[in-house]
Amino acid sequence: MNSGRVLVVDDAAFNRRLLTRLLASIGHDSLEAEHGRQALELLRDPATPAVDVILLDIVMPEMDGYETLAALKADPELQGLPVIVISGVDELESVVRCIRMGAVDHLPKTVDPEILRARIDASLAGKRLHDLEVEAMAEQARLLATIDRQRTELARFLSPQVAALVSSDDGQAMLAGHRREITAMFCDLRNFTVFSESAEPEEVLGFLRAYHALMGPLIVAHEGTLEHFAGDGFMTFFNDPIVQPDHAARAVRLAVAMRSDFAALAQEWRLRGHTLEIGIGIATGYATLGRIGFEGRYDYGAVGHVIIHAARLSSDAAAGEILIAQRTMAAAGPTLRTTAAGERQLKGFSRPVVTYAVESIEDAEAIR
């Protein structure tokens, strides 16, 4: 037999005493209330011990059994409590009404102790099952909330496209590795080493925070995938994991926006005695993309000749210059304006590489 705590609600003191003694004889604790309003106040009082079952009379002053039952079932905190109506009102209409309102049973006041024991035990079992279901739902809600928080935290450390990929059902195939044409862009600071050696650490950190705060939103706005950023540089690529038919033009627009917006930041630090500029390189070609790293620390990266090409162009670019490969110029479209930058002998390339310097591209301002 499982013991529980039963609330006896009856306006007749004699009936309450009779029921509480009967409950004690079959192993249950009890509380008493003279009418429905007092019962609800008792149940809603945080100091009241937890109640498992309610024995409810129908005919009572203040608030009768029907009103009390309706109030119990309308309260999200109390609606799970099993209610057994024990009443002298034994008409069929009253019995049906109580059951329809949510009572688990309807018994006469001259109830046999063994029948009452069986009804209470069944109600206790139902109550404990209900409590387990409520706890399971709460645990599921906590788990979903945890997953949402983890996804939110994940999005803080990954490019938005990669964060969405990691949390999607079909993302694992993409993460495993695939080949695709992309446009890669490297952006590096010029004179950063000299700046780091001559400026105070707090100044360097302040500049980097402003630099990252300026460039980061531009990458997101142009829907680039940020592979990584070091203190003085960004590596971003387009057309993966989201397909972008205009990936070459997007990369060039991002570069133009970076150069334009960085000018104000550079001027601010020039007034402080520090000359800082950016150089950008862009190349288009095929790469293998996917998860790179080891258990506990993975990144989403790209591997291929196109990455090296963009990096070398960035290194060779002069301050404020955007160097692009011939393939990128051809793919970026007719709104791109460039000047020939000659053949460059880039590190690691056996032959000189044809390059172009970007002057402008249409709609660069509108996208930002």
| Residue 258 belongs to some domain of the structure | yes
pTM: 0.58
Say if residue 175 is in the same domain as residue 315.
yes
Give the pLDDT band (50/70/90) at residue 124: confident
Query: Among residues 118, 137, 156, which one ends one of the domains?
Result: 137
Whether residue 199 sits in one domain with residue 117: no
Residue 142 lies in a domain: no
pLDDT tens digit sequence for 4-26: 899 999 998 988 898 888 888 88
Mean pLDDT of 113-117: 82
The CA distance from 71 to 48, in Å, is 18
Q: From CA 162, how far away is CA 265, in angstroms rounded?
A: 29
Q: How many domains does the chain have?
A: 2
Assess whether pLDDT exceeds 80 at residue 142.
Answer: no
Does residue 143 fall inside a structural domain? Answer: no
Alpha-carbon Rg for the chain, nearest whole angstrom, is 37
Same domain, 79 and 184: no
Token pair for residue 218?
A: 């531009």
pLDDT, residue 368, reads: 46
Q: Give the domain range for residue 65.
A: 5-137
Torsion sign (Cα): 311, 316, 318, 324? negative
Question: Could you read off the pLDDT of 220-249 as tens digits, one per residue?
Answer: 899 898 887 777 888 999 998 888 999 999
Which of 30-39, 211-220, 271-280, 293-302 shows the lowest mean pLDDT across its residues? 293-302
Long-range contacts from 11-16, C-beta under 8 angstroms, 24+ separation: 11/35, 11/57, 11/59, 11/60, 11/61, 12/57, 15/57, 15/109
Q: Is residue 160 part of a domain?
A: no
- 152 within some domain: no
Residue 206 shares a structural domain with residue 336: yes
Largest Cα–Cα distance of the chain, in whole Å?
Answer: 107
Q: Is residue 156 part of a domain?
A: no
**Do both 229 and 347 map to the same domain?**
yes
Q: Which of 111-120, 137-146, 293-302 has the highest mean pLDDT?
A: 111-120
The reply to whether 39 falls in a domain is: yes
347 lies in the same domain as 248:
yes
* Nearest Cα residue to 26 out of 49, 6, 3, 5: 3
pLDDT at 341: 95
Q: Which of 88, 119, 137 is at the close of a domain?
A: 137
Beta bridge partners of 342: 355
CATH of the domain at 46: 3.40.50.2300
Mean pLDDT of the chain: 85
What's the per-residue H, E or C state across the chain? CCCCEEEEECCCHHHHHHHHHHHHHCCCEEEEECCHHHHHHHHHCCCCCCCCEEEECCCCCCCCHHHHHHHHHHCCCCCCCCEEEECCCCCHHHHHHHHHHCCCEEECCCCCHHHHHHHHHHHHHHHHHHHHHHHHHHHHHHHHHHHHHHHHHHHHHCCHHHHHHHCCCCHHHHHHCEEEEEEEEEEEEECHHHHHHHCCHHHHHHHHHHHHHHHHHHHHHCCCEEEEECCCEEEEEECCCCCCCCHHHHHHHHHHHHHHHHHHHHHHHHCCCCCCEEEEEEEEEEEEEEEEEECCEEEEEEECHHHHHHHHHHHHCCCCCEEEEHHHHHHHCCCEEEEEEEEECCCCCCCCEEEEEEEEECCHHHHC
Q: Is residue 206 domain-shared with residue 310, that is, in the same domain?
A: yes
Q: List the strands of the sheet with 53-56, edge to edge.
A: 29-33, 5-9, 53-56, 83-86, 105-107
34 and 78, same structural domain? yes
Q: Is the pLDDT of residue 28 over 60?
A: yes
Residue where a domain terminates, one of 137, 155, 183: 137
Q: Tell me: the pLDDT tens digits for 257-301?
A: 999 999 999 999 999 999 999 999 999 999 998 877 776 666 778
CATH of the domain at 356: 3.30.70.1230
- Residue of higher predicted confidence among 299 and 195: 195
Statement: residue 108 has pLDDT above 70: yes
- Tens of pLDDT, residues 171-193: 566 666 789 999 999 999 999 88
Omega within 30 of 0 (cis) for the link into 241: yes
State whether 289 and 329 are in the same domain.
yes
Q: Is residue 144 part of a domain?
A: no
Residues 200 and 287 placed together within one structural domain of the fold: yes
Within this chain, do residues 23 and 119 fall inside the same structural domain, yes or no? yes
Tell whether 131 and 187 lie within a shared domain.
no
Q: How far is it, in rounded angstroms, from Cα 225 to Cα 162?
A: 7
| CA gap 34, 60 in Å, rounded | 8
Counting every residue written for the chain, the total comes to: 368
